[in-house]
Amino acid sequence: MKTDLPKVLHRVGSESMLGRVVRNLREAGVADIIAVVGYKAEIVESLFKDAIRFVIQPELLGSGDALAHAVDYMAEGEGTVLVTCGDTPLIESATYKRLVQAHRKKKSSCTLLTSEVEDPTSYGRIIRGRRGEIAKIVEEKDSSGEEKKVAEINVGTYCFRKTDLKRHIRDIELNEKKKEFYLTDIVDILTRGRKKVLSAPCDPEEALGVNSRKDLAEVNKIINDRTIDKLMKSGVTIIDPATTYVDGSAVIGRDTVIYPCTVIESDVKVAAGCRIGPFARLRPGTRLAGGAEIGNFVELCRAEIGEGAKVKHHTYLGDAKVGRNANIGAGTITANYDGKNKNRTEIGEGAFVGVGAVLIAPVKVGKNAVVGAGSVVTKKKNVPAGKTVAGVPARMLSSKKK
């Protein structure tokens, strides 16, 4: 990865890889999660100390050694242990559930997740016997010419009968080539001991692990594609999925149309029938009511846009509330940050803000009020309902008739 950040803290969507793995495990019904950490462990622990337990691996001697340290912290007695990797964030909660259910139903000693992939390079291969039973897992560096051709790979996620895991985890021997203890070797140990070892399939996409920045980009694309596909199936029109990013936590109402090169981040809620983009960015905390229109090169941050309101061109609205049917002219800016605090701007129902206006928060523009083009409305100089202001700084225009 060529990074100073622990790999599992790199983000996929709006979550870290580890955060996504933990969330999916929770959704699958896993109550007690232990993370084995080594490199910069204190950073990982500080972010997840209230969610999971931690075990330190003093020396980075491979996955078998990592799990050997973890078993000492597991409760005694019967049970099922699910082992997975912190850098495989695409495995869904439903897949974890299926794995556990298959393991318990078949009463196996170990059930591992496998997948058939087009290019198995760098993955451990599943080697099966004459009757199709799993015989062993062979790592890439240890595989022969024929074994390299095997397309079925080990995903790195397992279910173990706890008693068998505890009994045999320390039977794994040091691999002399890499000077590591391979967790995969436990499969060979169990099969030689006539223990039942089975497999459960998963989608090749879910098998992807992240070991480079290129892998990270690929995983992010897959997650975004899943989100886009889900939205389109729910009744959202996305003109060009290839250039549109929508965070998985965003809520988008049906019959909304999203134009190309739009970015919709986490904690965004969009009601039905909105128009967004092209080249729009909706940042966290943004809310759009029904029929709102957000045009090209508009950035919204913690902004509430009312029903039927229009924010069409080259505009930044931060910490703002815009009333229904208001019109925000091109180039409008809410200056929400004073160097110390983020301040709020409120624009009333039916208000009209002219092109190039700057609203310096905190400030309010009343219902049906008008702000002239190029005006600067200074902080706390509220514009009364139905009134018109213009100038730099903005002043109220006289309503007297000649």
Average pLDDT over residues 216-228: 97
Q: Which amino acid is at 153?
A: I
Range of the domain at 233: 219-396
For residue 231, being part of any structural domain is answered with: yes
Q: Tokens standing for 356?
A: 């190039």
Q: Are residues 259 and 363 in the same domain?
A: yes
For residue 210, being part of any structural domain is answered with: no
Query: At 320, phi and psi to the nearest 5?
Result: -125, 150
The whole-angstrom separation of Cα 47 and Cα 9 is 9
Q: Are residues 174 and 230 in the same domain?
A: no
Q: Are residues 175 and 32 in the same domain?
A: yes
DSSP 172: P
Q: Are residues 329 and 287 in the same domain?
A: yes
| The most confident of 49-63, 169-183, 272-286, by mean pLDDT | 272-286
Per-residue confidence at 91, pLDDT binned at 50, 70, 90? very high
For residue 2, being part of any structural domain is answered with: no
Q: Which amino acid is at 171?
A: D
Q: Tokens standing for 10?
A: 């790199």
Q: Are residues 169 and 225 in the same domain?
A: no
Residue 69 annotated as catalytic: no
pLDDT cut 70: percent of the chain above it: 99
Per-residue confidence at 379, pLDDT binned at 50, 70, 90? very high
The whole-angstrom separation of Cα 349 and Cα 346 is 10
Higher pLDDT among residues 127 and 299, named by residue: 299
**CATH at residue 105:** 3.90.550.10
Triad 364, 365, 369: Cα angle to 5°: 165
The single residue of 69, 103, 168, 313 carrying the catalytic annotation is 313
The answer on pLDDT for 402 being more than 60 is: no
Average pLDDT over residues 368-390: 97
Q: Are residues 336 and 254 in the same domain?
A: yes
Q: What was the pLDDT predicted at 131? A: 85
Report pLDDT digits (tens) over 299-312: 999 999 999 999 99
Report pLDDT digits (tens) over 202-212: 999 999 999 99
Contacts for 234-238 with beta carbons within 8 Å, 24 or more apart?
none
DSSP 387: -
Helix (H, G, I), strand (E, B) or coil at 24: helix
Per-residue confidence at 399, pLDDT binned at 50, 70, 90? low
Q: Are residues 166 and 245 in the same domain?
A: no
Pairing of strands 34-37, 53-56: parallel
- Length of the chain equals 402
Q: Are residues 251 and 171 in the same domain?
A: no
For residue 100, being part of any structural domain is answered with: yes
For residue 401, being part of any structural domain is answered with: no
The answer on pLDDT for 400 being more than 60 is: no
**Total domains present in the chain:** 2
Given a contact cutoff of 8 angstroms between Cβ atoms, the answer to whether 61 and 179 are in contact is yes
Q: Tokens standing for 144?
A: 């022969």
Q: Are residues 37 and 173 in the same domain?
A: yes
Last residue of a domain, one of 202, 232, 253: 202
Report pLDDT digits (tens) over 232-285: 999 999 999 999 999 999 999 999 999 999 999 999 999 999 999 999 999 999
For residue 361, being part of any structural domain is answered with: yes
Q: Tokens standing for 206?
A: 């879910």
For residue 1, being part of any structural domain is answered with: no
Q: Are residues 183 and 300 in the same domain?
A: no
Per-residue confidence at 93, pLDDT binned at 50, 70, 90? very high
Average pLDDT over residues 333-345: 96
The whole-angstrom separation of Cα 247 and Cα 249 is 5
Q: What was the pLDDT predicted at 401? A: 52
Q: Are residues 228 and 182 in the same domain?
A: no
Average pLDDT over residues 75-89: 93
Last residue of a domain, one of 139, 171, 202: 202
Average pLDDT over residues 315-335: 98
Mean pLDDT of the chain: 94
The whole-angstrom separation of Cα 278 and Cα 27 is 35
**CATH at residue 385:** 2.160.10.10
Per-residue confidence at 30, pLDDT binned at 50, 70, 90? very high
Q: Are residues 194 and 166 in the same domain?
A: yes
For residue 208, being part of any structural domain is answered with: no
Query: At 105, phi and psi to the nearest 5?
Result: -65, -40
First to last CA, the chain: 73
Last residue of a domain, one of 152, 171, 202: 202
Distances (CA, A) of 368 to 208, 275, 306, 379: 55, 23, 14, 19
Q: What was the pLDDT predicted at 140? A: 83
